[in-house]
Structure 1
């Protein structure tokens, strides 16, 4: 059986609405006008500190201003942790696919750049915590994806082989390549680059396809 590591935002969950809502409240608290959802979506993938830096850059603020960055990040986290899954939705077929993979005996884990508290809260909101008991968050280690260390930590903790990573973005593709772990790329997430530009072993458009893909890989 395989050890399967999943990304969260843009892979299992469409979390843009809640992240956008928290950014909107953060900006309002600091007397700034809101940003549109598509712009906030383009900032997602490298964790909360990077998100805040990109918001600051978009508003002609210096992200190297540590005091201002810390204030904005604290405000964002206060709003986001209060409701990390109020507006978010699982991508179609996620629950069914995870149940099928669990039933087939595969070990599963989550590796996300989202801080671990809202990541676990999101899993609980969608009743996925028993399907993904191991969580490596963006604050679990000193580094985040695309550094390979979070993927390696998840793989070691599961202790199974072969290992697969399921993700949706440039960050996921780079992390998987650096970790020497095959990537199955979900094409409906937050990717900005053409599929051909990302290193991957397989692609899928809907989670109904995933159990079959993994079964083929595990049987090799």
Structure 2
């Protein structure tokens, strides 16, 4: 097996349980209400929760005659708050196998974290679950419209993490096709973790490895 200078992890669906669709949908509905839209169409809620693009966001806001910046600020605020509430209530938590990461310092030089979630949400997760010491660098995105252009599969934040770590060969661990594509665009090998929420997902891009748990990731590095 290839020896890696660094291993970088996704957050949602890899380290912590992913946010529930209903939670994100309700947060988005609250954001619409905050900017004066009391009856947002379900298809528009689905579009935002499903990963709206910059162009799609502007089209959506035009349909309601909304200022895109104001709506997106409301959406990001309520989305983040809904996530923090679930973490604090224990309704959303860290996966048990994150304990496998504590031994990675013996198997690789450094570890990082790159997520499509808000950077401030990632900071909360690392603090709340006492994971800070496991990572040498981490990136989420700022709560801006333009940050949507930098989400995976764009490798922007993976490239930044690799530069921080000074890594020439690295492995990215994720739970979605966009994670696999982003890794390959960043010239990284990829691990697809088949958690319960993605167990039956069909990928059009093959990951370098497929595993069931983070213990399997540690085992790969130990080969």
Q: TM-score, normalised by structure 2?
A: 0.74
Task: Select 2:93's aligned residue among 89, 95, 109.
Answer: 89
Kindly indicate which of the two structures has a greater share of residues assigned to helix.
2
CA distance in 2, matches of 1:25, 1:177: 33
Moved over 6 A (4+): 51-54
CA distance in 1, matches of 2:17, 2:41: 20
| Partner SS for 2:192 | strand
Q: TM-score, normalised by structure 1?
A: 0.75
Aligned pair count reads 202
1:23–1:76 CA contact under 8 A, matched in 2: no
When Rg is computed on C-alpha atoms for both structures, the one with the higher figure is 2
Calculate the aligned-residue CA RMSD, in Å: 3.5
| Partner SS for 1:114 | strand
Who is 1:194 aligned against? 202
Change (3 A) 1:103 1:67: farther
Who is 1:159 aligned against? 166
Within the alignment, does 1:112 sit opposite 2:111 as a pair? no
Gaps of 5+ in 1: none
1:109–1:154 CA contact under 8 A, matched in 2: yes
Change (3 A) 1:25 1:179: closer
CA distance in 2, matches of 1:113, 1:188: 18
The residue correspondences of 1:56-75 to structure 2 (distance < 5 A) are: 62=60, 67-75=66-74
Who is 2:127 aligned against? 124
Gaps of 5+ in 2: none
Post-superposition offset of 1:103: 4.3
1:4-27 deviations in Å (ceiling 9; x for gaps):
11111122111313x743541441
